[in-house]
Structure 1
Amino acid sequence: MTLRSLVHSLSLCAVAALSTFVVTSSADADAAIKRVSAFSCYTEGGVDFDGYSRGLGNMTGGLNWGYRDLYCPMDNDDRLPHETITHLNVHGTDGHSNDEVSVAACVSWYSWVGGACGATKSTSHPQVGNFALHLSSASELGALRTNGGDFAYLHVTLPGQGNYVPTNGVSSLTGFYMDNQP
């Protein structure tokens, strides 16, 4: 093998390797992942934090127990526009044995009063303990995917401890994860 053919072979290998890197890098550049802590959420009527809930929880109990709604902003930027989200995983704890935690992906319209939400997803009875709710269907993420110019948020409803406080624990939200992976 001559020096010229050796240089030519090495050049072809280098071009092939660089092409593979560029194709792989551009595909990875389109993929985006975001994790959001529950501490970025807002609520009407207050929310509780304690060392057991690992996030924001609802510790109402006894005869006056009730539900707490959390509203969690979903950052919308060039890296992960909300209309490109394909998976939304919500994590927390369901502490109520007879009621469920429910979540919905929503938008607030920028040019008009109101908004829209996708289909609600809930924990199941009699689940008590950690949960991970996965939203990925067109009906669950439809409000996000069809309203790109609006403001996206996650709506979470936490049940209280109920009338029998000793038998139920704290329902809480730890956070959520979203991506645009296929």
Structure 2
Amino acid sequence: MNREEIRQANAIANPGCFATAIQLGLLPLAKAGLLTEVYSTGITGSTGAGQSLSSTGHFSWRANNIQAYKTLTHQHMKEVGQSLQQLQGSPASIHFTPWRGDFTRGIFISSQLRCEKSPEEVLALYEDFYKGHPFTIVTRKPIALKQVVNTNKCLIQVEQVGHQLVVHSAIDNLLKGASGQAVQNMNLLFGFEETTGLHLKANAF
């Protein structure tokens, strides 16, 4: 959403990994003014814990385990709220529960909200919004974390039953959620092809 501003910037702040995954799932709805109350759940691998040693980041604790943390208080929500309001013009209420998962890399988000539009209208919103964005891919098929791990991609799938809409988004937290996104921004800043150095192959293939 800030591609042209990035090209002219002197300094760029990359969003956090959870913030990236949640925002990419919700930005098309924000642009259409459809966000009011959103409930998001996300799971991240052990590399999302950062470099500092901690008992919950150790493999012996992570193995065969899952745990909720920072429920409704995660620090990335301020970033998410700022970007969504920037597009929508009014604030949206995002309730986020993050989980620690038993794997190394990746983030998978599911965001649920009420939406009066038809499934085809919603899908058209997403496909139109991400047209021309090489790393954000909207699909009608179920998505899996392994499809994005080791890539700079974000996969998005929307599902709808009645007026309940669920948006799934998946990224690699160390690439699209960190260094890959930084390289993408650097490419824009210095006038390189946006995809330079980022044609990466997913674990699943």
* TM-score, normalization by structure 1: 0.27
More helix per residue: 1 or 2? Answer: 2
Higher relative CO (Cα under 8 Å, sequence separation at least 6) belongs to 1
Q: TM-score if structure 2 supplies the norm length?
A: 0.24
